[in-house]
Each structure stands twice: as structure tokens, then as C-alpha cells.
């Protein structure tokens, strides 16, 4: 049985507590939360502490707090030479304070409080200082996911940027599409199957090959008509830049 | 039994022929193709014509050709007062030549030759000049889809722009994410579950509410680090503009 302590009570911490609680071979021995109320629905009260000195021994401590607080929290841990990992895509492993053995346990997914996720489909990116700790992290990751990747800190930084493009920015394009629908009394629902299919296509096809639409066809008449229809400067600018980028990319192929 | 003739042999035409062939209550009586070879795998040879004068009577003629050719093809049809529709998102109904009854049958989906689609989930946007023809179009659309929308030409133009944002542009962001992965020896596979989840989220949550990431958190440290990591000016520019747009949008809420 792997004993795990989760430090943090936000979005990622809650999803991890929920996943580990369901997993075989893993026990959430404690959780640290400044506001215990955040996770009282997930763990019995006696397992939640708000004082670092009350943390008991665990095989792995998972710091799931906001990026800016990771170093500080890791420095406050009142023990040495235990395995401490963070869950961030953008923070290098060595920003963890060095009095403990360090590692990273980065689940690459977009977590919302309002929607449960299926952890088994979530890639977990692992990194550690020693091969022995790496084995522990693999055991932990395997308990909740089938997709495990060995990713070093430099790669993880790039992966995080790629994820911003593939997720945060695409979501914003959905928002702009939804705005355009609202402006013309169209239900956003009409676009939902298209959104699903667009994401489904690139599961099997390289995205550059899946590209369709007026930009890649160099259909300048349609592009011009679209630009005239768009009212907001912001929408126009994004339309133009992405159209140019699609065309420049197609030329490189 | 509704007799339908499909004019065209490209991507959309082929998907429609395939869908109508499987559908109950619909018969693809003929198809017009300049290159019959394109659709010989879908229809028997005797149903494919390359000469407009060989077109027999049908209840509905569907012009599924490239946008720029729609008016010209509709003008060449050697009969009058029959129901002729096009399948384009961006062409107004009245660009069809007026010697026939006019309408639009616009399936809102991204069609690839390489991937089959499930038509039952595809919204079909209908428009016609008369209520009687609209009933015919509903019967036809119902034979392949459960999602039917009454959309006039102005709305359809806006819908097409929204679809470019929600599909063509998001696909390009997947391409940029894939490029970033390649540049850092990361498998694009790691991002696929994230892409699926991002599109799944907005099926139930308004996209503005689903927004996550450094931009909406105003995490300027991470944003700065991402910009430094990006090598191509194009990637940097898109990162900046979408980050600004996410932040401006969040302020409006």
C-alpha cells in the first residue's frame, strides 16, 4: 500500500484526492489544507491538517498548489529526505526545496471544479531525481492512469506551452464562436457536433492534414466576406492572423 | 420515396450520396459528375451522368460543388420550377439561378475524405423560398439527421464564420501545438486526451466559463516564460493576441 499525502485543496488537489481514494493500492493518509472546508466532502476530518508539523510519514507528498507557492510550501515541510513532488506543468523540478527527494507528477488535463474527469485517460508526466523514486511514481501513476510519460523539466515546459495552444486557446476560440452566434441569434448548440468532430479527427490524423476551410483553400472571396461580417476589431485581428498562419503553414508542407 | 439527385462529386457530395443511400425513404436517383470515376464506388455507373441534359426528374436537386461554381451550375440546369438547393455555408440562397425553386441544405460539419462521419449527429441548416419546399427539405434532412435548424441566409453567413473559429482555427492551434511538441521531441499523443476533454467540456458548459490557463489567471510569470520558449515569431504573435483576447473577454463578464 502506497501512502500518499496531498498538499493543497484547490482544483487539482481535489481531483487527485478523489482519484487516489478510488484507486487500488493507494491510501490518501493525509491532506494539508489551509481551508479544510474545501475538502471535507472528500476526506474524513481527522485526515485533514492545516499545520505542517502535523504531517505524518508518507511514501509520497504531492504539492498541488498554485505555481507561485510551490517553492515556499516545499521549503516549509518539516522533514527531510522524503519524496516530494509537485503537479505543475511549468515549474522545473529543482524549484522544489532540496532538503527532500524531488520529483514531478504532472497530470496533463484541464480540470474544472464543475465537471468530473476520467483519470484513466489522462497522461501523467513523471520526473524524479533517482531511478528508485521514479519507480514509486510509476506505481502511483499506474494506480489512476494507463498513460505514463517520462518527461524532463525542459520538455515539460514546452509541453505546457503546447497545451495552452491545444486547450486554453482553442477554448477561447469556442468563446469567440459562441459570441458570434449570440450576435446573430444562433444557438451555440449548432456548433457542438462540429467541435466534437474537429477534436476527434486529430486523434487519428495529423492536424496539418486535417486542416479545412477558406484559409487553406485560399478562398479569398469567402475570407473577405467573413472579415466584413465580423464587428469587433479583436475578432477581425484573430481571424486575419490565424488565416495567415494557416496559409504560411500549408506552404511549408 | 423522395427522389434526390446530387450534383457534384467532391467531399460533401460523396458524404451525402453515402448517407442518402443508407437512409430510409430516400432514393439517390442520379448523380452528376464531371469525373464519374470519383463516385463509381458509391453509385452504379448508369446513375452517374456528366451531361446536364441527361438529368431526369427528381424531387430535390442538391448542388454540392465548390462555392464559386454554385451560381453557374444552377444556371445550367435545363429545367424549370424544380427544387434546387445548395450545400454551402457562405453562399446566400438567392445566388442560385431563379428559374428553379430555391433552397439551402447545409450540413454543418467538417468533412474529410479519409474519415467517415456519423450523419445522425450533424446539424442540417435548412432554408427555402416556400413553406411547401421547406417540408420537403425537412423530410430529406430527417432521413439522415435528428438535428434540423431553420437558418436564413444572413444567419448562415454568420454561422459559417463562427464555424471557422470553432473548427478551422482550433485545428490550426492543434497544428501549432503539434509543431511545438515536435520541436522538443514530445509525442503529440500526450495532448490528445486534453484536446478531447477541452471539446467535451463546452458541450455542457458555456466556453467562457470553461476557460482555464495562465491568461485568464493573469499569471504573467508563466506567460513571460512561455513567450521566451516560443521560437517562431508567428507562434509568439498568436500567443500574445489570444492571451490579450482571453483577458479582455474575462473583464467583460
The β-bridge relationship of strands A124-128 and A101-107 is antiparallel
Residue B151 pLDDT > 80, yes or no?
yes
User: Could you tell me the pTM of the whole model?
Assistant: 0.88
Phi and psi torsions of A82, nearest 5°: -100, 165
Q: Give the least confident one: A141-145, A183-187, B109-113.
A: B109-113
State mean pLDDT over B29-46.
96
Q: Which residues in chain B have Cβ-Cβ distances shorter than 8 Å to A231?
A: none
Q: Which residues in chain B have Cβ-Cβ distances shorter than 8 Å to A197?
A: 109-110, 117, 167
How much is the CA Rg of chain B, to the nearest whole Å? 22
pLDDT class of B109 with cuts at 50, 70, 90:
confident
Q: Which residues in chain B have Cβ-Cβ distances shorter than 8 Å to A214?
A: 90, 164, 168
C-alpha to C-alpha distance for A110 and A199, rounded to whole angstroms: 15
SS3 A3: strand
Per-residue pLDDT tens over the stretch B118-147: 888 899 999 999 999 999 999 999 999 999
Closest partner residue to B222 among A67, A203, A210, by Cβ? A67
The pLDDT assigned to B22 comes to: 95
SS3 B146: coil
- Residue B103: beta bridge partners? B85, B128
- Secondary structure string (H, E, C) spanning A57-99: CCCEEEECCCHHHHHHHHHHCCCCCCEEEECCCCCCHHHCCCC
The pLDDT assigned to B90 comes to: 87
Name residues 225-244 of chain B within 8 A of A (Cβ).
225-226, 229-230, 234, 237-239, 241-242
Q: What is the ipTM of this complex?
A: 0.89
The pLDDT assigned to A183 comes to: 96
Name residues 152-181 of chain A within 8 A of B (Cβ).
154-155, 157-178, 180-181
pLDDT class of B111 with cuts at 50, 70, 90:
confident
The pLDDT assigned to B16 comes to: 96
Q: Which of B35, B36, B163, B12 is nearest to B85 (CA)?
A: B12
Q: Which of B109, B159, B195, B250 to mutate to test the interface with A (most CBs of A within 10 A)?
A: B195
Q: Which residues in chain A have Cβ-Cβ distances shorter than 8 Å to B225?
A: 90, 157
A101-107, strands of its sheet edge to edge: A48-49, A26-32, A2-7, A60-63, A83-86, A101-107, A124-128, A148-150
CB atoms within 10 A of CB B159: 26
A39 and A62 in contact (C-beta within 8 Å)? no
Mean pLDDT of the residues in chain A: 95
Per-residue pLDDT tens over the stretch A169-225: 999 999 999 999 999 999 999 999 999 999 999 999 999 999 999 999 999 989 999
Q: With an 8 Å Cβ cutoff, are B167 and A213 in contact?
A: yes
Q: Which residues in chain B have Cβ-Cβ distances shorter than 8 Å to A122?
A: 193
Those residues whose C-beta lies under 8 Å from the C-beta of residue B242, and which sit 6 or more positions away, are A169, A172, A238, B215
Per-residue pLDDT tens over the stretch A78-128: 999 999 999 999 899 999 999 999 999 999 987 766 667 788 889 999 999
Question: Nearest C-alpha of chain A: how many angstroms from B179?
Answer: 8
The pLDDT assigned to B120 comes to: 86
State mean pLDDT over B59-68.
95
Residue A240 pLDDT > 80, yes or no?
yes
Residue A142 pLDDT > 70, yes or no?
yes
Residue B112 pLDDT > 70, yes or no?
no
The pLDDT assigned to A162 comes to: 98
The pLDDT assigned to B196 comes to: 95
Burial B43-82 (b: 16+ CB within 10 A, else e): beeebbbeeeeebeebbbbbbbbebeebbebbeebeeeeb
Interface contact B71, partner A, CB < 8 A: no
Interface contact B151, partner A, CB < 8 A: yes
Question: Nearest C-alpha of chain A: how many angstroms from B57?
Answer: 33
pLDDT class of B114 with cuts at 50, 70, 90:
low
The pLDDT assigned to A208 comes to: 96
Amino acid at each position: 500500500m502506497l501512502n500518499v499525502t496531498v498538499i493543497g485543496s484547490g482544483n487539482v488537489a481535489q481531483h487527485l484526492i478523489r482519484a487516489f481514494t478510488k484507486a487500488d493500492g493507494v491510501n490518501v493518509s493525509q491532506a494539508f489544507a489551509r481551508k479544510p472546508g474545501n475538502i471535507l466532502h472528500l476526506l474524513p476530518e481527522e485526515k485533514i491538517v492545516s499545520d505542517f508539523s502535523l504531517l505524518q510519514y508518507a511514501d509520497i507528498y504531492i504539492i498541488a498548489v498554485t505555481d507561485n507557492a510551490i517553492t515556499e510550501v516545499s521549503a516549509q515541510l518539516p522533514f527531510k529526505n522524503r519524496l516530494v513532488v509537485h503537479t505543475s506543468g511549468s515549474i522545473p523540478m529543482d524549484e522544489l526545496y532540496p532538503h527532500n527527494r524531488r520529483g514531478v507528477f504532472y497530470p496533463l488535463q484541464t480540470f474544472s471544479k464543475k465537471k468530473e474527469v476520467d483519470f484513466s485517460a489522462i497522461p501523467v508526466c513523471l520526473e524524479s531525481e533517482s531511478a528508485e523514486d521514479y519507480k514509486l511514481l510509476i506505481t502511483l501513476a499506474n494506480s489512476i492512469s494507463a498513460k505514463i510519460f517520462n518527461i524532463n523539466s525542459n520538455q515539460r515546459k514546452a509541453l505546457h506551452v503546447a497545451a495552452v495552444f491545444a486547450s486554453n486557446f482553442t477554448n477561447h476560440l469556442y468563446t469567440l464562436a459562441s459570441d458570434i452566434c449570440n450576435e446573430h441569434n444562433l444557438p451555440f448548440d449548432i456548433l457542438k457536433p462540429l467541435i466534437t468532430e474537429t477534436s476527434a479527427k486529430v486523434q487519428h490524423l495529423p492536424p496539418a492534414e486535417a486542416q479545412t476551410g477558406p484559409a487553406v483553400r485560399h478562398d479569398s472571396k469567402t475570407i473577405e466576406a467573413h472579415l466584413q461580417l465580423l464587428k469587433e476589431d479583436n475578432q477581425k485581428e484573430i481571424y486575419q492572423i490565424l488565416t495567415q498562419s494557416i496559409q504560411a503553414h500549408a506552404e511549408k508542407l
